[in-house]
Amino acid sequence: MNIEKNNKETLSLVIPYFESVPEKRAILKQCIDAVEGMYDELIIVNDIESRGPTRAIIQGFAMSHGDYIACLSDDAFLEEGNLRDLMDPDSLVSPRMNQKPQSFWGMAYCMPRWIYEKVGVLDEAFDGGIYYDDEDYYLTLKKNNIPHYCNADVNFMHPDGGKTVKADPTISEKEKRNRKVFENKWGPLSNYR
C-alpha cells in the first residue's frame, strides 16, 4: 500500500537505546544502516540511566520536529519496503514484524504529528518501559478512535527480541508492578488477552 505523500513532509525517527549488552552498539548500527536515507531527522535517546524505553521514546518524541514521527526498537532491522511507506496522514501505521501483520507493534510504528499532539505517546507510569505499555497505548488509540493498521508492504525483523529485558535482574518485579498499573487503568488483563 503506497500512500501518496507530499515530498516536503518530513519524518523524524526516534530510537530508544540502552547499551545493556556488549554487542548493542553494533546492533544499533545495523538498525540505522537498514533505514539510511529514509528519514529527515534521527533522534537516538541513549537511556544511560536505565529508565526504560518508554521514557526514552517520550523524550525522543518531545524533541522531534517532523511532520511524521516513527519509533523503532534499536534491534529491529528493515527487511522489506521503505520506512517512509509507513507515513499516512490519517493513521498510525505499523509494519509487519518478523513477517507477522498486526495493527500496532510497540517496537515499530509511525504516526502523523496530529496523533502525537492529540493522544501523546506511551504512558510513563509503566516502570522501566517494559510490559503492558504497548497494550496500554493500543487501548488508548482505540479509546480515542485513532485509526491504526499494518502496512504489509513493510517488514522489520526483530530476531533478538527481549534480549535487553532478559538482561534485567529486576524484570519480574517490574512486570508485576506494570500489570497492576495496567489493570488499575483498564481492568483485568484477561479481558484483553
Over residues 42-77, the pLDDT tens digits come to: 999 987 666 678 888 999 999 999 999 999 999 899
In this prediction, residue 163 has a pLDDT band, given cuts at 50, 70 and 90, of low
Q: Which residues contact 131 (CB under 8 A, 6 or more apart)?
A: 174, 175, 178, 179
- Tell me the C-alpha distance between 173 and 151, whole Å: 35
Question: Does residue 133 form part of some domain?
Answer: yes
Question: Does residue 6 form part of some domain?
Answer: no
| Nearest-5° Cα angle at 68, 66 to 69 | 85
In this prediction, residue 165 has a pLDDT band, given cuts at 50, 70 and 90, of low
User: Given a cut of 80, is residue 25 above it in pLDDT?
Assistant: yes
How many domains, in total, are found in the chain?
1
Closest CA to 14 of 103, 116, 100, 102: 116
Q: Which amino acid is at 125?
A: A
Over residues 80-121, the pLDDT tens digits come to: 999 999 999 999 999 999 999 999 998 899 999 999 999 999
Domain that residue 48 falls in: 11-188
Question: Does residue 3 form part of some domain?
Answer: no
- What is the average pLDDT across 21-41? 90
- Tell me the C-alpha distance between 136 and 178, whole Å: 10
Question: Does residue 5 form part of some domain?
Answer: no
CATH code, domain with 37: 3.90.550.10
Contact, 46 vs 19, CB < 8 A? yes
Report the predicted TM-score, pTM, of the whole model to 2 decimal places.
0.88
- Cell readout for 173 is 518485579
User: Given a cut of 90, is residue 17 above it in pLDDT?
Assistant: no
